[in-house]
Structure 1
Amino acid sequence: MAEARDEPAVFVVEPLFPQRLRRPSDALRFLATLLALVAVILLSLVAKQTLNGLEQDIQTGTEYVPSLLSRLATFLGGAAVLAVPAAFAVERVFHRDGLRVAEGLIAAIIGMVGSYLVGVWVESPGGPEDLGNLLTGGGRLDALNALLTSVIAYATAVRINRRPTWRAILWTVVALFLLSLFSGRQITIPSALVTVLFGMAIGYATLYGIGSPNTRPPGNAVLATLRRLSFQPVSARRIEDDHQGSRRYSVGLRGGSTLDVTVLDRDQQVAGLPYRLWRRIWMATETRRRAIRSLRAELEREALMAYAASAAGVSTPRLLATSEIGTEAALLAYEHLETRRLDDLDDAEVTDALLVKVWKQLKLLQRQRLAHRRLTGDSIQVDAGGNVVFGDARSGEIAAGDLLLRIDVAQLLTSTALRVGAERSVNVAASVMGDATLAGALPLLQKIALIRETRGALKKNKQLLTELRDRIVERKPQAEAEEVRLERFRPRTLITIIASAFAAYVVLSQITQVDLGLVVTTANWWWGALALGASVISFVAATFVIRGFVPAGLPFGRTMLVQFASSFVKLVAPAAVGGIAINTRYLQKRGVPSTLALASVGASQLIGLVFHIGLLLLFAYITGSNTASSFTPSRTLVVVLLIVAVLIVVVLGVPPLRRLVTGRLRSLFSNVLPRLLDVLQSPAKMLEGFGGTLLLTIAFVVCLDACVRAFGGEISFTAVAVVFLTANAIGSAAPTPGGLGAVEVALIAGLRVAGVLDPVATSAVLLYRLLTFWLPVLPGWASFTYLQRKQAL
């Protein structure tokens, strides 16, 4: 120790540390608390009856408590909830931590003002009535308890939860205080939960807003730790942070050697957490890495990867020492190697011989099943002797699965191709790794498998991945070119789930407004039988449509079973997708070439679209000529045309959307016109295809019209046709299975505009959807199963 005190002072060249920091962990805790607050409110609104019963049970139970004991508990709860924060403040002041107490008082004041404003908002005439009744118990109580909100906000801001003893005392007195409020009927259960969460949110927001004292150990603390590890630093300077935001220092030692020191700060461990969580949820990769890692776990993981890489014979900076720096940071000391990054080399220096060395280093890693996971131009370095060094081992993983190893190959292929082109990259890689290894990485040459920096670089060379695939296939033609599905779900799937949940809510809310018993007893079921017959005829018409646009002969019975099967597929696919997919598959199984099958289905869809638009305009015009109708179709026609015009302008005006739509239409209708010409040359096929398309639309209109009349609705057939055609277009565009939710809302709204009473419109639409969407599901499932067993699908 005496020798350590005799060491000369070393000045660390680094920027001045800010006195206060906004910690990402506080922002994340604030967001998590807000999410919990929203979840509590939504659950409370859904389970109002259950909460009311629970409150009554609690209040009934408190009546059995002796009066003296109840009063004593009320007094102690109210006094203690003030005394504990005050005692903690005194304790902090004695420890010269008065600034923390001041932060807590700021949060308490904000919490009190916030609780008052929330109360004014929910109790105002324009406020949320259901939420107000939930929190105020029907208007007899305050929405939020101001005292409890302030106490919770104060306790959160002073970080009392980090002190186990104080934390236990605080939450005990808060529970006692809440019990006294319940026994006195001064608070509701939702109000209590919302008050606590609201106070916590205020506390975390205050902490993040004003910042927290900077507890990161400065450079001289890093040097002191190195001295305890028997190093003798004589100079130190801060260098560029690594890609994860960790501090790095270059430390000169007595004797002339140099250390590269990485410092892991505790408050930086959650930096980038949202992105890591999203990738972990989104990506189905073989990894055991946690999105949230403790300081100790991060230190051990990086050290283990560094030791494993060195043991595998890979040229990496040697890890010399590790240590914690107090409780808020840790360091890793590596030997310093004089290198240059691959990105900094001139093009002439990036020779094939150098690239071979790069791939040999990766081969050493893969032999020991080590995944680097960050093979980019800044982590691949070259020393003065021309030897390749792999840096940045902290992103790696030991005992990696096959998928991660293949991703490393795909990543390095892409990184080197960005420098030397696809052909050179593939040829050099194949000379070291072999064609079979490159073929294994072929399905992973997709943007989602690469790291963020590489994905950004590919924006300037969008064809590079395609070129890499082509070069690999040229070397190994039998290689599997289909991409591996890495996403657990696609964004489109997420949108479908959200839309389906909303649709289910809409449908259920409509059902609750209908007296089903009254509907069953008052409906005219002769009209219901007609609607059922029209629904069955729609499947016959759909069969004619497919038969009419396919040049080969199709058996009527089995083709009709395919149409029933498509009604089952609609449960899991949007309305416009399920029918196309299953009919195309059926035609392919019948021996129709894929191109012709797609062209035939595309032709049927195109003619269906033309008939749909033409009938909509025709029926809208006819309805508009009837001035006696309460339905205002001329205005409807204008609205429809305006909507179509706006959609066209949006599609044509937004380049990504325009490319998406034109690409889809091109792939769907590329061979449609020749197929239509073939149909026009056959009167029988033309009659079957065109007549089936017209019959299909008329059958659905008749079904909806019969459903309306079954419940006593009086509306013209042409008005029903306009309503159906408009709603069907909306349902086809909706991302929900079978247009669920969108079709119901559009049909009910259209019938209401046409003059149908609300109960009649809702009942008619529910019956219509029952006959055309839900009822065919069971025969559709049976048809789907039968056709699969017969290998017809």
Structure 2
Amino acid sequence: MNRRAALLVDAEDRWIRRPSDLFGALLSLIGIVFILMFSVYASSTAVAVTTDVREATNDFLTTVFIMPINVLEGLLTFFAPLAVLIELTWTKRWRALSSSILAMALAAVLSNIIVWFLREYLPDAPVTNTLAVAIEGQAIVLLVPYMAIISALCTAAGTRGSLVSVRWTWPLLWIAVVLSILQGQQTLPGALSIVLLGTMVGQLVLFLLGTVPERANGLNLVRLLRRAGVDAAEIVRVDRSITIDDLIALRVTTSSPIGYLDRFGIAQLQEFINRAFDPMEIVEEDSKNESVIPEALVDPIAVYEDYQTFTVPRSETVSRNYVIIDSGGLAYHAAVLDGDRQLLSWLSSMWSRIRLRIQYRHSDASIHDTANQVTLMTLAAQQNGVVGPDLVGVASSDDSVVIATKLLRAPTLDAVPEEDLTDDVIDQLWMVLTTAHRSGLAHRNIHAGTILLDNGELIITNWHDGTIASSEISRRIDLGQGLLMMAGLVGTDRAIASFERMLGNEMLMTTAPVMQRSVMPHQTLATMSKKKTAELQEAITAKAPPTAESNAQVEFRRFSPKTAITVTIAVLAIYILLGSINFGEVWEALKQAQPVYLVIAFVAGSILTYFGAALHLKAYTPEKLPLAETATVQVAASIITLVVPAGIGPAALNLRYLNKKGVSTTLGLATVSLVQIAQLLTTIITLIVVALLTGEIGRLSLPSGSLIATIVGVILVIVALLLIKPLRAWLAAKIQPTFDQVWPRVVWLATRPKRILLGIVGSTLQSIGFIAAFGFALASFGYTLPIMTLALTFLISNTLGSIVPSPGGIGPVEAALTGGLAVAGIPYSIALSTALVYRLLTFWGRVPFGWFALRFLQRRDLV
């Protein structure tokens, strides 16, 4: 066996914070919440389960269990903690000892505080009744704090059964839990909750204080490198995230074999040697074969800085990166996967699976499975002619995996000056990807940090997230990621020109729909803002042939955080609204409503408004829009309003529809903005015309003092915005982008009076439809208002209610309409009923039609 002394410059991991501890504490907390919620909302079931358990143990068994439970309590409360602490002291695990003592103290304090708080301040609360339920008149103790203390101790003291005392304490704890439930000392929810509480405290303490890392370091790391086939002479950590002050230099001497050998054969050979020579001499030689001593003559910081000249491809899957120089002077890259960091990659992969409709990145829960995936993909890429760093070997221990490859002394693309990225270099990217795609391989994580430029040759590394039998979508994502990356490095024009030169315009058109930020690497997104990404997509759209149909936009995301937030707001709004309604009064009012007026209100609030909105959009769009198709889009918008604030849903769906019709995003935004502005102006003009025709303007009473004060305040704000220069500049900065977008459409529209008239007709139909629906909803209860008063009440109340950013205006709109009718003299119960009926007909009643319309449009690829 080859004995060698290697220089190791590494960061000293005295302790680490493991993400798994924080994740485990979160799971424990979720478990406690779930148990308590289930116990409260299914209290009868919880009581029935506890009763059944108690009935299953007759008086004889209960008497027999008295002695075991007393013995177990003694063992758990005194001897078990003492044994664990003694073993920690004996094995000199000082950090684990301090963590265990702190966890026990926190668990004791927290559990007793909870017991005291529930008894003193929430004695009759549902959760307290569940935890302290009485069965057959027997008072059951609320919680048993010592179980939390023992659970916290075992969690903080030992992992993976490393301590004998911990391995024995856990079974004793669960036996005590079962017996205490059978004897009626605590309930099943209370027992589970108190144990989970201790586990949560122990895991939080471990995360906050840190724990000794269970990973390959020092001698074990050198052994793994030799097993992977590298006879290392120098090993230097090159991660930029490490703390310089933690660097140490070690001289590691070992004679462990290079490569994988037959251990059984070695054992037989060792036995033969022991027989032939003096056993004492063999033992002495073995003690000299392996050693780890500090290297005082080497400055670890200086060595670390020298090795930063080596460029190592970065990957989120890899925990640590090392540069290795072997006995022959060859350079290698060792990527180390550590089990204590694998959870982050796995959670990221799971989140992608939940959030996205496709699986384009993958990470296993086990580092060994991940290592197999990395090795398989690297070998497959080499086998199919994709140039990359040659794989040297893979070696693993219980907690770490080392993947050794030859190190190419070449910079990554993000470190290459733009002038060195010639057209020939850019073109190579598409050649390499095409070679891989023809063999069924997809990389799925293309960014500038994974691509090397070695003497003019482009090399794609880090095939960690790749797949062998790739789908068409995965391969198109590769191209989209490469195009967005190149646009950030060399500019949009050069990137697109290179793509067309190598792959053609048709492939460019099919790649454009997958260029969505949700599937782009964050390294690329950090250099490409949303504005730049939109400019790239518009530049690609401009390259489309005039007769080409727009490609279908691929929908990757199942949901977004914004969607989750808006749905939550909608649920809260509905809950608040329903909680504030006196259903008795509403039901009495609804029984008096006339069905004929309700039908008329539904027709007016649906058909007229859909048709008017379609005319409005069609009038202000130069492109040809079929009226029936455009009206169907307005119907589909009815379901979008459930999850977005009022007014935004139809505008967003109209923009998506215009994009499908070949209208660029910028022009589409201008058109939608112009439609909304024109709708506001038309509404104001309609009010004035109605007032003049009906003569109501002369009979309008003087507004109340509060309303006058509000109007004066609004006027003062407008005057301040116009007169104060900083405020005027701020207002101009806010308005100017919208004005720049809308103005070209206004210029185009000014020369087409027929379209202006058509838009006015459409906007007027919308206003008439909603006002008519509101009026007939009121008339169904036997009340009417003058047309002018009705129009003013509706338009002002609906506008004020829509200002509040709730999904679909749920809650604020109903409150504003009710208040407006009440001010107009309508009884409050009738006003509330009218507002609810109006919203039922024009909002909730249209949702089913919107769902069918949206499905129809999606099948036709129109939105």
1:514 aligns with 2:510: no
Q: Which residue does 1:259 correspond to in 2?
A: 332
* Residues 564 and 779, structure 1, Cα contact 8 Å, conserved in 2: no
Deviation at 1:546, TM superposition (A): 6.1
Deviations 1:759-782 (A, max 9, x none): 888766555544554556679899
Distance in 2 between the 1:105 and 1:334 partners? Answer: 45
The letter of the residue matching 1:29 is G
2:13 to 13, 18, 21: 18
Deviation at 1:509, TM superposition (A): 4.0
Distance in 1 between the 2:48 and 2:731 partners? Answer: 54
* Residues 439 and 472, structure 1, Cα contact 8 Å, conserved in 2: no
Deviation at 1:390, TM superposition (A): 2.6
| Alpha-carbon spacing, 1:724–1:178, altered in 2? closer, same or farther (3 Å) | farther
Question: What TM-score does the superposition give when structure 2 sets the normalisation length?
Answer: 0.70
| Alpha-carbon spacing, 1:97–1:295, altered in 2? closer, same or farther (3 Å) | same
Distance in 1 between the 2:671 and 2:709 partners? Answer: 40
Q: Which residue does 2:156 correspond to in 1?
A: 157
Secondary structure, in 3 states, of the residue corresponding to 1:271? Answer: helix
Q: Which residue does 1:303 correspond to in 2?
A: 375
The letter of the residue matching 2:22 is A
Secondary structure, in 3 states, of the residue corresponding to 1:389? Answer: strand
1:313 aligns with 2:381: no
Q: Which residue does 1:113 correspond to in 2?
A: 109
Distance in 2 between the 1:210 and 1:145 partners? Answer: 27
The letter of the residue matching 2:412 is R
Q: Which residue does 1:243 correspond to in 2?
A: 315
Deviation at 1:238, TM superposition (A): 2.1
2:528 to 454, 458, 477: 458
1:71 to 57, 66, 76: 66
Deviation at 1:297, TM superposition (A): 0.9
Distance in 2 between the 1:646 and 1:488 partners? Answer: 45
1:525 to 586, 592, 606: 592
Q: Which residue does 2:493 correspond to in 1?
A: 423
Deviations 1:686-744 (A, max 9, x none): 7996587357326515635865989xxxx999999888656633664577775445544
Secondary structure, in 3 states, of the residue corresponding to 1:255? Answer: coil
Deviations 1:117-137 (A, max 9, x none): 334555665999555555555
The letter of the residue matching 1:361 is V
* Residues 749 and 756, structure 2, Cα contact 8 Å, conserved in 1: no
Written as runs of structure 1 = structure 2, the 5 A alignment for 1:726-765 is: 728-729=798-799, 732=802, 738-744=808-814
Deviation at 1:111, TM superposition (A): 1.2
1:573 to 641, 656, 663: 641
Q: Which residue does 1:485 correspond to in 2?
A: 555
Distance in 1 between the 2:366 and 2:22 partners? Answer: 18
1:404 aligns with 2:474: yes
The letter of the residue matching 1:20 is W
| Alpha-carbon spacing, 1:699–1:467, altered in 2? closer, same or farther (3 Å) | closer
Written as runs of structure 1 = structure 2, the 5 A alignment for 1:157-236 is: 157-159=156-158, 162=161, 173-182=172-181, 186-228=185-227, 231-236=230-235
Q: Which runs of 5+ in 1 are unaligned?
A: 553-558, 589-593
Distance in 2 between the 1:468 and 1:681 partners? Answer: 32
Written as runs of structure 1 = structure 2, the 5 A alignment for 1:586-665 is: 602=676, 605-607=679-681, 610=684
Deviations 1:346-377 (A, max 9, x none): 44433333334443322322221222234333
Secondary structure, in 3 states, of the residue corresponding to 1:200? Answer: helix
The letter of the residue matching 2:638 is K
Q: Which residue does 2:413 correspond to in 1?
A: 342
Q: Which residue does 1:353 correspond to in 2?
A: 424
The letter of the residue matching 1:75 is N
| Alpha-carbon spacing, 1:374–1:180, altered in 2? closer, same or farther (3 Å) | closer
Distance in 2 between the 1:246 and 1:418 partners? Answer: 27
Quote the sequence identity (%): 23
Distance in 1 between the 2:196 and 2:701 partners? Answer: 56
Deviation at 1:788, TM superposition (A): 13
Distance in 2 between the 1:219 and 1:288 partners? Answer: 32
Distance in 2 between the 1:89 and 1:539 partners? Answer: 74
State which drifts further: 204-213 or 737-746.
737-746
Question: What TM-score does the superposition give when structure 1 sets the normalisation length?
Answer: 0.76
* Residues 39 and 127, structure 2, Cα contact 8 Å, conserved in 1: no
| Alpha-carbon spacing, 1:228–1:420, altered in 2? closer, same or farther (3 Å) | closer
Distance in 2 between the 1:457 and 1:50 partners? Answer: 56
Q: Which residue does 1:556 correspond to in 2?
A: none
Distance in 2 between the 1:606 and 1:498 partners? Answer: 30
Secondary structure, in 3 states, of the residue corresponding to 2:109? Answer: helix
1:378 aligns with 2:374: no
1:34 aligns with 2:107: no
Deviation at 1:442, TM superposition (A): 2.7
* Residues 263 and 330, structure 1, Cα contact 8 Å, conserved in 2: yes
Deviations 1:376-402 (A, max 9, x none): 333322335x43333223343322211
| Alpha-carbon spacing, 1:164–1:638, altered in 2? closer, same or farther (3 Å) | farther
| Alpha-carbon spacing, 1:654–1:28, altered in 2? closer, same or farther (3 Å) | farther
The letter of the residue matching 1:235 is E
* Residues 613 and 631, structure 2, Cα contact 8 Å, conserved in 1: no
Deviation at 1:12, TM superposition (A): 1.1
The letter of the residue matching 1:271 is L
Deviations 1:625-682 (A, max 9, x none): 579xxxx76688789999999999999969998789779988998977778x659979
Q: Which residue does 1:555 correspond to in 2?
A: none
Deviation at 1:295, TM superposition (A): 1.1
2:461 to 391, 411, 417: 391
Secondary structure, in 3 states, of the residue corresponding to 1:261? Answer: strand
Distance in 1 between the 2:512 and 2:151 partners? Answer: 55
Distance in 2 between the 1:407 and 1:785 partners? Answer: 26
1:287 to 360, 367, 383: 360
Distance in 2 between the 1:665 and 1:69 partners? Answer: 86
Deviation at 1:212, TM superposition (A): 0.3
* Residues 21 and 211, structure 1, Cα contact 8 Å, conserved in 2: yes
1:696 to 752, 759, 770: 770
Aligned pair count reads: 760
The letter of the residue matching 1:514 is F
| Alpha-carbon spacing, 1:609–1:313, altered in 2? closer, same or farther (3 Å) | same
State which drifts further: 26-35 or 140-149.
140-149
Deviations 1:287-346 (A, max 9, x none): 3723x531101111111111111111222111111111x312111121233323334444
Distance in 1 between the 2:416 and 2:840 partners? Answer: 69
* Residues 444 and 483, structure 1, Cα contact 8 Å, conserved in 2: yes
Secondary structure, in 3 states, of the residue corresponding to 2:378? Answer: helix
Distance in 1 between the 2:737 and 2:64 partners? Answer: 72
Q: Which residue does 1:146 correspond to in 2?
A: 145
Deviation at 1:529, TM superposition (A): 6.9
Deviations 1:401-439 (A, max 9, x none): 111212222222333333333333334344444444333
State which drifts further: 277-286 or 459-468.
459-468
Deviations 1:202-227 (A, max 9, x none): 11110011100123322443222333
Deviation at 1:23, TM superposition (A): 1.2
The letter of the residue matching 2:28 is T
Deviation at 1:81, TM superposition (A): 4.3
State which drifts further: 726-735 or 349-358.
726-735
State which drifts further: 655-664 or 767-776.
655-664
The letter of the residue matching 1:364 is T
